[in-house]
Amino acid sequence: MFDAAKTAKPKLYTALKHLTEREMMRKLSIILTAIVMTYTIPAEADRLVCSQLEHLRYMKMVGQVGEMGIELNPVGQDRATFERLTAAYESLDPKGPKTSLFVAYVPTGQIYSKTCAQERCTMEEMAAPEQACLINHMNQCSYVALRFRGEGFCLLRSPQN
């Protein structure tokens, strides 16, 4: 015998199950859209922070970053130069977890960079962007920033207000 009450229950459950899956997919698409928007819209938090405190944070992990440490460069103490160099770095919009170094030709802000093969840079890798700049310009080359584990560290001394 055919019992309509027994067959209706599974159909209703199946319909609700599909509705729930559909609703979950809609919510998932909203979440993914929010994540994509978060990473594609430049945030103030992505800006390079140039301070003694941030440089001290870098110096505490310098042995993990590479075979040499880089001191704060006073070239950034002139506000116009500082802004030109930090803007040049930020225009590159560097991303990713790899360790990278950035050197600028100070008069123009032209950036030279090197991404290290491993997380910890060799002495040669750390010197490469500065050497490339010096080959082209003979002088006025300055380390601007480095990225380590997805975080930017400023290597310029911040101008005094």
**Does residue 82 surpass a pLDDT of 60?**
yes
- Note whether 147 and 99 are within 8 A (CB): yes
Which pLDDT tens digit goes with each residue over 8-38? 556 655 555 665 676 766 665 665 555 544 4
Q: What is the pTM of this model?
A: 0.70
CA-CA distances (angstroms) from residue 38 to 6, 12, 19?
49, 39, 29
Cα angle vertex 116, ends 115, 121, to 5°? 135
